Structure 1
């Protein structure tokens, strides 16, 4: 059996377990029919589709990433915007979300579906701030290697709809928030910079629920590994550090790894040079790990973003082994151009949009 395909299969099982459609569908029986559905984030279309299939046609607005607004009924309003750096359509999306909330009547029920990516995809700026200010802030945050919690705290300072701001405009009776978490700790105040967070002292009934997370994805990958007949050696959320530090920490463990599978989750960070090349944090981590395990036989590692994209790149990440690294890769790694090298050696992991977003997932298999 091809070990690369087995590793990808285990990784994919983790991703499939937290798909936006399935994760949302699983909780809808306990929710009253809403008057309005708003969905924002990378998996927004999958989450909205689940709600519409369950409740029937409802006024629905979906704000999502470019080319992610798929397979929705014609009556749904779809706004696609840029990620990870917002554009003018991000302002259109944020304004549309606020206006939809403001327009709801006093006895209304809102179903708000929130997921990662909303920080960039939807924004309604505080007075005096412009799109140029927003773009500059996001470029700065992405280049400095901050973790998602610190980044989103800075984003909230410019926003009218983050950190509880969106729901502060709600004058109805009840709000149900379902969220797919792409942050450590699954904190609704951090997911999408708090676009689904409750305002202080809300004057409406509120119910919030995390429907998918990295822990759920890892558990499913572990189950898949066991079904493949593999011993599971590790299941940890430990990727929250600079990607080089993560690679050094995991490198020794992977080199000494016995036969079996390790599953790791989280979200490494990257400090970018002035003119970065191609590839996101997963491709950077994959290439750094390739250096750490160079020459090690029988070891295959899949590193990928569960949303199917890795920063601005089309690949989700990469699949590497002991033969991936060679000395020419050093320059690519140093220039934040890991994607170019990994593409040259046929190591990219390409899935397309997955309909979810629960940070990143790493699966290592040793035979």
Structure 2
């Protein structure tokens, strides 16, 4: 199989392993004595809702799920609405209010099934009193551009939200709450998947303010005061005593599916980590060094082999480009490889969106840099300008999937053929 075909086949296997239709049924809760209410948010939540409807044998009394524009999937009994991501909009705020109204007045006999996936933070933007949606939008843009990790960003989100940080589960009390989640965060921490609307939050307002100060983000005095007073639901809160959290798909599972695909093609596969973080360009340099060591020294692995990793890197946007952590990783990797023979790579976000672009990522081949120079494109200058998307588009090497209807974070595969 050609290198490009193998890389694309591995990516497809990773995405397919995390599709709700394949992974959700095994995690359904038992039927309750009372009503069943289905709620949820995230890029995969509409597909999760359809999978739940098809697998659930009982009644569904009411349902509301909010997903990203373009990720809608028709359902019969669950209302699917859409909103903006990654910068929130009014449609998301309206959906969050409706969701809280939907779970009001439940009883101990009732069951709330919460379908959560990556993107849920932006899709449920209900600010605490004193904070406007416009202020949350501006802060979201600043956090996305400053290089903060997803854990740091979500810490701030939880403390400015009237629905995240355990508040949604608290609103469901005294009903039983079972959250079915697809993880898109390094380490699969429940508090970071959609900012943990149904789980207790051990972080504090002081932690959130520390993130703001660490990255030099300027806040109006009243917004800083609100952030310092918007405490989330803490561990041990009795309102969360009947809240249960179940992971149905993870980045590690997706990497394992990709590894199995490579092995069936006779290529050894090694999963380096499912939780790599840091600046995308720096990760690219490190991965290039490892790939070159394999190619030239047969250490620590022998070619042919593929090096797999997941996680979520960051891009501190300083240039005029559009960012995108997967394309930035790939461009830095390509520059460091400098056309080394026999090394190919693919990186993409498993939800089909890299940063704010409707592009999943891209592909690197040994000829990539030469092709760029022949077209008058300076790879290093494009990297300095955070213009990975423009670079791969110009060379026809963008990875475009459209909405995948799942989200298990970034996928990176480096194939060393020998």
**TM interval, short-chain normalised:** over 0.9
- Contact 1:237/1:264, CA 8 A, preserved across alignment: yes
Q: Which residue of 2 aligns with 1:280?
A: 324
Q: Which residue of 2 aligns with 1:235?
A: 272
Give the whole-Å Cα distance in 1 for the aligned partners of 2:320 and 2:103: 39
- Contact 1:294/1:324, CA 8 A, preserved across alignment: no
State how many pairs are aligned.
364
How big is the shift at 1:365? 1.3
Give the whole-Å Cα distance in 2 for the aligned partners of 1:205 and 1:32: 15
Cα–Cα, structure 1 residues 22 and 196, in superposed 2: closer, same or farther, change >3 Å? farther
Give RMSD over aligned pairs.
Answer: 1.8
Give the whole-Å Cα distance in 2 for the aligned partners of 1:77 and 1:234: 39
2:186 aligned with 1:184: yes
2:116 aligned with 1:66: no
Give the whole-Å Cα distance in 2 for the aligned partners of 1:72 and 1:6: 35
2:127 aligned with 1:83: no
Q: Which residue of 1 aligns with 2:407?
A: 357
Of the candidates 140, 165, 168, which is equivalent to residue 166 of structure 1? 168
- Contact 2:113/2:177, CA 8 A, preserved across alignment: yes
**1:221-268, CA deviations, whole angstroms, 9 ceiling, x for partnerless residues?**
111111111012443235311112101211111122232111111111
Q: Which residue of 1 aligns with 2:393?
A: 343
How big is the shift at 1:304? 0.5
- Contact 1:62/1:69, CA 8 A, preserved across alignment: no
Of the candidates 342, 350, 353, which is equivalent to residue 298 of structure 1? 342
State the structure with more CA Rg: 2
How big is the shift at 1:80? 0.9
Q: Where does structure 2 lack aligned partners over 5 or more consecutive residues? A: 201-232, 295-302
How big is the shift at 1:2? 2.1
Cα–Cα, structure 1 residues 276 and 172, in superposed 2: closer, same or farther, change >3 Å? farther
**1:126-152, CA deviations, whole angstroms, 9 ceiling, x for partnerless residues?**
111001110111011001111111110
**1:341-365, CA deviations, whole angstroms, 9 ceiling, x for partnerless residues?**
1011011111111121111011111
Give the whole-Å Cα distance in 2 for the aligned partners of 1:336 and 1:158: 30
Cα–Cα, structure 1 residues 203 and 131, in superposed 2: closer, same or farther, change >3 Å? closer
Name the TM-score, length of structure 1 as normaliser: 0.94
2:13 aligned with 1:13: yes
**1:198-239, CA deviations, whole angstroms, 9 ceiling, x for partnerless residues?**
452226523211111111111111111111110124432353
Give the whole-Å Cα distance in 2 for the aligned partners of 1:279 and 1:203: 39
Question: Helix, strand or coil: the match of 1:166?
Answer: helix
Runs of 4 or more off by more than 3 Å in structure 1? Answer: 103-106
